[in-house]
Amino acid sequence: MTDTTLQPSPVPGFLRRIDRVVIAIGLIVAAIAIFLPEQLGPSAIFTGKNLLAIMPFLVLSVALAAWVKATGLDAQIVKVFSGHALTAIFAASLFGALSPFCSCGVVPLIAGLLAAGVPLGPVMAFWIASPIMDPQMFLITSAVLGVPFAVVKTIAAVVMGLGAGLAIHALAGQVFLTSPLRAGVGSSCSTSSCGPKKDPEIVWPFWQHAERRAMFTGEARGTGWFLLRWLTLAFVLESLMVTYVPGELVGGWLGGGNWWSIPLGVLVGIPAYLNGFAAVPTINALLDLGMMPGAAMAFLVAGSVTSIPAAMAVFALVRLPLFGLYISFGVLGAFATGLVYQALMF
């Protein structure tokens, strides 16, 4: 079986990519220390707290992706997802809405699926649906914003995943989608040309085999470092936006029944969304300040898919055409969901 492990390219190129990200973090931190010294501590605390908060999800997703690879289960997933396209896309959308992965935590799984040759349609369906809703988020949203809000958001996750998956399926074979992963990330496959590979033997107790243990360790180490450095950069940038974009201004512009409230909710959700658990009480407070319900829904949906950490992780993983489609699906879906929810409220 072809090795599809998410692994770095040869050492010189790998080190160059590390240098670019790490140097960018260092330059930003140095600029904060020089020009905004009072912000250095808060930015460090913000970055550390958010990395710690997301770490359980990242560890789980990285370990799961490595386990799938080491056991040989990835080839079976390819086989299932390469079946009837519509069935696979619908199943991926539904599973994505019910899975416990955030927009960043799902990246290792997506990388593994793409590298293993899973068609882009089901992968995109799962990718879009997964960060919008999960069981824990449903309970929190229901408790703070109400059950109807949580139900609509869940339906939006499935519908958006389904729509994105079908759109990618319709574009199957287009040249700009034939190599989705960036060079050095993994073995990229065409939507149309990558089918099920020869089934390897599935070995559940993979730790009993030195080669599979090494595969698991290499996958987990490479993917974990890949995400850690990009997320650190994203959270440092986000700490500045949170500090210097006043919440009262956001609430004022997103309320009052203005025609621009919902599209603005989408746009603001992209940079201002922290994480689902922080966003729910924030939106509840903004609703009390007069924020439109549709704008609140648009903010949460757009932020779930296209927040800065998620967008940067996706940008580092896939080529620009697929990245553009991912962002477009998130933005258009959030806008449509906001309009529908606002209409349901009247």
The DSSP result for 268-298, as a single string, is HHHHH---HHHHHHHHHHHHHTTB-HHHHHH
Query: What confidence score (pLDDT) does residue 273 get?
Result: 75
Structural contact between residues 250 and 272, judged by C-beta atoms closer than 8 angstroms: yes
Contacts of 81 (CB under 8 A, 6+ apart): 88, 92, 113, 118, 119, 122, 123
Query: What confidence score (pLDDT) does residue 295 get?
Result: 92
CA dihedral 146, 152, 153, 159 (to 10 degrees): 170
Whether residue 162 is contained in a domain is answered as: yes
pTM: 0.76
Query: What confidence score (pLDDT) does residue 8 get?
Result: 40
Residue 215, exposed/middle/buried by CB under 10 A (0-12, 13-18, 19+)?
buried
Structural contact between residues 127 and 327, judged by C-beta atoms closer than 8 angstroms: no
Whether residue 3 is contained in a domain is answered as: no
CA dihedral 168, 174, 178, 179 (to 10 degrees): -80
**What tens-digit pLDDT sequence spans the chain (346 residues)?**
334 444 443 444 444 445 688 899 999 999 999 999 999 999 999 999 988 987 887 788 788 878 988 898 877 777 777 778 889 999 999 988 888 777 777 888 888 888 877 889 999 999 999 989 988 789 889 988 999 999 999 999 999 999 999 999 999 888 888 888 887 665 444 343 444 444 567 888 999 999 999 999 998 898 888 878 888 887 888 788 778 866 666 666 776 667 788 998 898 887 767 667 667 877 887 787 778 899 999 999 999 998 888 888 889 889 999 999 999 999 999 999 999 999 998 6
Domain of residue 27 covers 11-344
Query: What confidence score (pLDDT) does residue 55 get?
Result: 86
Residue 3, exposed/middle/buried by CB under 10 A (0-12, 13-18, 19+)?
exposed
Query: What confidence score (pLDDT) does residue 186 get?
Result: 55
* Token pair 């600029």 in the structure block, residue: 31
Whether residue 148 is contained in a domain is answered as: yes
Whether residue 5 is contained in a domain is answered as: no
Structural contact between residues 231 and 309, judged by C-beta atoms closer than 8 angstroms: yes
Cα(67)–Cα(206) distance, integer angstroms = 8
Whether residue 2 is contained in a domain is answered as: no
CA angle 75, 71, 85 (to 5 degrees): 25
Cα(236)–Cα(218) distance, integer angstroms = 27
Whether residue 98 is contained in a domain is answered as: yes
Considering its fold, how many domains does the chain have in total?
Answer: 1
Query: What confidence score (pLDDT) does residue 259 get?
Result: 79
Whether residue 1 is contained in a domain is answered as: no
**Residue 255, strand partner residues:** 291
Whether residue 321 is contained in a domain is answered as: yes
Backbone angles phi and psi of 194, in degrees to 5: -90, 110
Question: Which H, E and C letters describe 179-231, residue by residue?
Answer: CCECCCCCCCCCCCCCCCCCCCCCCCCHHHCHHHHHHHHHHHHHHHHHHHHHH
